[in-house]
Structure 1
Amino acid sequence: MIRTGQQYRDSIRDGRQVWINGERVHDVATHEMFKPLVDIRARIYDMQHETEFAERMTYQDERGQSSAIGLKLPFTQADWHAKRLATDTVLDEIGGIVTRVGDETVGEMWSLFDGQDVLNEVNPQFSENIRWHIDKVIRQDPFHVSANTDPKGDRSKRPQDQDPDMLLHVVKETDAGIVVRGAKYETAAAYANQAFTKPTIANWGNAELSEYAVGFVCDLGSPNLKFICRTGFAGRAPAEDYPLANRFDEIDTLLIFDNVLIPWENVLFYRHTRAATFIRATLHRYSAFAFVQRNLKFADMMIGAALFNARQTGLDKQQAVQEKLAQLACYREGINAHLTAAIATAEPSPGGLLMPNQSLLYTGRVLACSQLHEMMHIARELCGGQICVTPDAASFRNPETAPWLEKFYTINDNWQAEDRRKLLAFARDLLNSDYAGHRLTFQLFAQSPPFAHLASVYRNFDWNETLRVAHKAAGLSGRVLGQDNALRRAAE
């Protein structure tokens, strides 16, 4: 059943070993670096119980219990519309963007649900395990995240030819389960409940069976896990000056597996390179939707900040400004069109689910991520230089400096100095701050690197149809190189 925010806070007070800034954290839920995101995740849990939001965020499952829409298996277009609405509801309520809160990572397990025939090749128990875990997620409503990226070490070498812990691997089998060593980089792990853990890259060699080809659900309260976190942005500077960095920074963790026992019921595949390869190829079949949806919200925030600045200063009537705003609008609507069309032309998955149209989803992701830096620069230009030179909020309150700032930052009766300051602080934190730079860099690996984005497009685009069109238009009579049986039948 859906949890409350307090139940979630209590669930991460399990004695886990967490470090940040070189210090041991004794209560993740109240530590200044983690508390903002813990509070947001708790707020999402509480929203599910509130009359105002419950209808958009929950549904009645087959047991007659209220469950989270974000965790529901998608079988219809209505399911996807409901998921999109639930995510928008959350982002609107909290007033910002959080990427790792569960709805975008649970979809990675749905991809393995589609690969049950692959799992059955090695052990039917593994396909039973994935079905059980998906049901468990719906029933218990945990904060579920995803652990992919390893330290990797020297990538010109096989893991067996260097320190073997550079990639997570199995060191022992027991009656109770497998014992694993290594490390993963994982956003939000320090304050989440469980992580779907699987290989990043298939460089375990040509062996059909490999100790590196392992995937499992890890209870983040397990013994021998260690969480070494990067420093956060919260508390570095006043919240009035950096409103996003202080509320929405999602802490990344180097998660150390120091001989961690994974019970057999949590193992989803093991020593099966084909299963590992399958999950890497299909990992974002569903989860990319929620991720790209957040790019859409970021585009809205950029356009709003830029347009407010242009209207405040009276520049929105200039054609050059309108053209730049139109570029931002085209970017935004391009993302929106891909998401909308991906649902409208959704396709059945191998496991009987309904997945967003894969070609449209992956090309939409390329659009959203590859043009993001350019759109941020356009928004900076529209906001003007004041986002990098405006004094801090304390100066607006100091009796000696406040009158001058009131004079120079008040534009008219509708735009007084304080609102002008708030908008510039928001735009600076959205586009220019350390936090803004971190978010932009995060795009390079949060849903795999850019080359993998394009590889997904290559695997899912309908090349056959383009060959058919060209074959007919050119009046070709012979077989075109690369034609498959379906294309030859169409040509005939």
Structure 2
Amino acid sequence: MIRTGEEYRESVRDGRQIWINGEQVDDVTTHPAFKPLVDIRARIYDMAHEDTTRDVMSYPGSEGERNAVQQKPPTSVEDWHAKRAATDAVLSDIGGVVTRVGDETIGEMWSLIDGQDVLDEIDPTFSTNVKRHIDRACYADPFHVSANTDPKGDRSKTPDEQDPDMLLHVVRETDRGIVVRGAKYETAAAYSNQAFTKPTIANWGNDALSDYALGFILDMGASGLKYICRTGFAGRAPVEDYPLANRFDEVDTLVIFDDVEIPWENVLFYRHTRAATFIRATLHRYSAFAFVQRNLRLADLMIGAALWNVKQTGLERQPAVQEKLATLACYREGINAHLTGAIATAEPSPGGLLMPNQSLLYTGRVLACSQLHEMMHLARELCGGQICITPDKASFEHPETKPWLEKYYSINENWVAEDRRKLLAYARDLLNSDYAGHRLTFQLFAQSPPFAHLAAVYRNFDWDGPLDLVRYAAGLSDNVLAGAR
């Protein structure tokens, strides 16, 4: 059942060891680097309890309890429309884009439903664990995130040829569970409740068993965990000058596993490289939808910032400007078409769920990520050079500089200096700032690197259609068909 925002805050005050900027954090809910995102996640919980948003964010369970729409395993097209509406409601309410808040990473748990048969073939011991944790993640509604990437070390070497801790691995078994050592990079780890911890795609050679091939549910308050966070963007500069960086930075963390014991009941698969490979291959069949939906919202923000900038200077009627705006619109509608089509032509999954059309979903992800940098640059052109040279708010308020800035930044009675300053500051933070550069890199790699995006397309595209079309049109013999099989 859905918690309140305050109940969530209390759940992450568990004494975990967190460092940022060389400082150990006493309370993640109040520290300035983390508080903005803690507050947003708390807001998501609270939206499920408020009259105006309860029905968008939650649905009644079998016993009358309210469960989160975004966590519900999808079995119908209506479920996907509801999830899309819930995510849009959150992003509109907070006025920005956040990714690792639970609705994206929960899809990886649904993939385990589809993988139960494979996991049972390998070792049925863990099947009960999988079901229990899927139920808990979907219905108890913890803040659930994902742990994928290891430091890796020298990738030309196998794990046993270098420091073994470069990839998370089991060091021993106990009566209570497995003890693991290594590290993982996890966004939002410092202020979440649990993570589905998975193996990185690694060079296991021909081994059927490997101490590196494991997946488990990690309790973020477990003993032996240490959280070393990258420098945050919040608080570096006034919020008036960097309105996005101060509110929407999702702090990434190197999570150190210093001989952490994982109880047997939390282990989902262990040692079998076949299971690890299967899980990696199906990991994003659901979660890519929520991820790509964020790119759609980013496209809307870029269009809005660019269009307001050309409107305030009267350039929106120029054909060259309209062409650039139309290019941004094509990018936006391309993402929208892939998401809409992926729902409309959704496919039954091996585990009885309804997954978005895989070819459309993965090609939509490639479109959204591969063109994002070009669209950001196009939006920069439309916004103009003033987004990188405009003074800060303090200068607009200083008694000696204020008259000059009001003179040169006011256009008419509708566009006065303060509104122009706000617009230019917003566009700068969206497109030009350190935060904007970080966001671009994150979108490019957050669900695996570009080559893996294309590999997913290759695995899911229907190649038989074009082959059959050309075989018939060219009059090729059946021998060609037999050879292709």
| Residue identity matched to 2:325 | L
In structure 2, the residue matched to 1:372 is 372
TM-fit CA distance, 1:484: 6.5
In structure 2, the residue matched to 1:66 is 66
| Residue identity matched to 1:291 | F
Distance 1:482 1:46, change over 3 A: farther
- Is 1:202–1:276's contact at 8 Å kept on the other side of the alignment? no
Matching of residue 214 in structure 1 with residue 240 in structure 2: no
TM-fit CA distance, 1:44: 0.7
SS in 2 for 1:110: helix
Give the Cα separation in 2 of the matches to 1:483 and 1:268: 41
In structure 1, the residue matched to 2:9 is 9
| Residue identity matched to 2:115 | G
- Is 2:71–2:137's contact at 8 Å kept on the other side of the alignment? yes
Matching of residue 255 in structure 1 with residue 255 in structure 2: yes
Give the Cα separation in 2 of the matches to 1:101 and 1:401: 42
- Is 2:370–2:444's contact at 8 Å kept on the other side of the alignment? no
SS in 2 for 1:444: helix
In structure 2, the residue matched to 1:460 is 460
TM-fit CA distance, 1:482: 8.1
- Is 1:240–1:393's contact at 8 Å kept on the other side of the alignment? yes
SS in 2 for 1:52: coil
Give the Cα separation in 2 of the matches to 1:464 and 1:133: 38
SS in 2 for 1:51: coil
- Is 1:2–1:48's contact at 8 Å kept on the other side of the alignment? yes
Matching of residue 48 in structure 1 with residue 29 in structure 2: no
Superposed CA deviations along residues 78-122 of structure 1, whole A, max 9, x for unmatched, are: 000000000000000000000100000010111111010111023
Give the Cα separation in 1 of the matches to 2:211 and 2:172: 9
Give the Cα separation in 2 of the matches to 1:317 and 1:207: 64
Matching of residue 475 in structure 1 with residue 475 in structure 2: yes
TM-fit CA distance, 1:72: 0.2
SS in 2 for 1:216: strand
In structure 2, the residue matched to 1:138 is 138
Query: What is the 5 A alignment of 1:39-438?
Result: 39-438=39-438
Higher mean C-alpha displacement, 116-125 vs 103-112: 116-125
TM-fit CA distance, 1:265: 1.1
TM-fit CA distance, 1:378: 0.2
TM-fit CA distance, 1:441: 1.1
- Is 2:20–2:229's contact at 8 Å kept on the other side of the alignment? yes
TM-fit CA distance, 1:31: 0.5
- Is 1:202–1:277's contact at 8 Å kept on the other side of the alignment? no
Q: What are the ranges of 5 or more consecutive residues in structure 2 without an aligned counterpart? A: none
SS in 1 for 2:75: coil
Give the Cα separation in 1 of the matches to 2:463 and 2:105: 29
- Is 1:25–1:31's contact at 8 Å kept on the other side of the alignment? yes
SS in 2 for 1:171: strand
Give the Cα separation in 1 of the matches to 2:343 and 2:275: 27
SS in 1 for 2:228: strand
Distance 1:61 1:28, change over 3 A: same
- Is 2:193–2:219's contact at 8 Å kept on the other side of the alignment? yes
SS in 2 for 1:480: helix
TM-fit CA distance, 1:463: 0.3
Give the Cα separation in 2 of the matches to 1:479 and 1:237: 69
| Residue identity matched to 1:344 | A
SS in 1 for 2:480: coil
**Identity, % of aligned pairs?**
77
SS in 1 for 2:29: coil
- Is 2:72–2:139's contact at 8 Å kept on the other side of the alignment? no
- TM-score, structure 1 normalization: 0.97
- Is 2:106–2:138's contact at 8 Å kept on the other side of the alignment? no
Q: How many residues align?
A: 485
Give the Cα separation in 1 of the matches to 2:194 and 2:4: 17
Distance 1:482 1:294, change over 3 A: farther
Give the Cα separation in 1 of the matches to 2:145 and 2:385: 38
TM-fit CA distance, 1:481: 6.3
Distance 1:344 1:408, change over 3 A: same
In structure 1, the residue matched to 2:450 is 450
| Residue identity matched to 2:165 | D
In structure 1, the residue matched to 2:31 is 31
Higher mean C-alpha displacement, 361-370 vs 471-480: 471-480
SS in 2 for 1:292: helix
- Is 2:242–2:426's contact at 8 Å kept on the other side of the alignment? yes
SS in 2 for 1:100: coil
- Is 2:102–2:145's contact at 8 Å kept on the other side of the alignment? yes
Q: Which runs of 4+ in 1 moved over 4 A?
A: 481-485
- TM-score, structure 2 normalization: 0.99
Give the Cα separation in 2 of the matches to 1:381 and 1:183: 41
- Is 1:464–1:483's contact at 8 Å kept on the other side of the alignment? no
Give the Cα separation in 1 of the matches to 2:40 and 2:447: 22
SS in 1 for 2:444: coil
Give the Cα separation in 2 of the matches to 1:424 and 1:468: 54
Superposed CA deviations along residues 435-479 of structure 1, whole A, max 9, x for unmatched, are: 000111112320100000000000000001110111111111133
Superposed CA deviations along residues 328-351 of structure 1, whole A, max 9, x for unmatched, are: 000000000000000000000000
TM-fit CA distance, 1:483: 6.6
TM-fit CA distance, 1:138: 2.6
| Residue identity matched to 1:107 | G
TM-fit CA distance, 1:204: 2.0
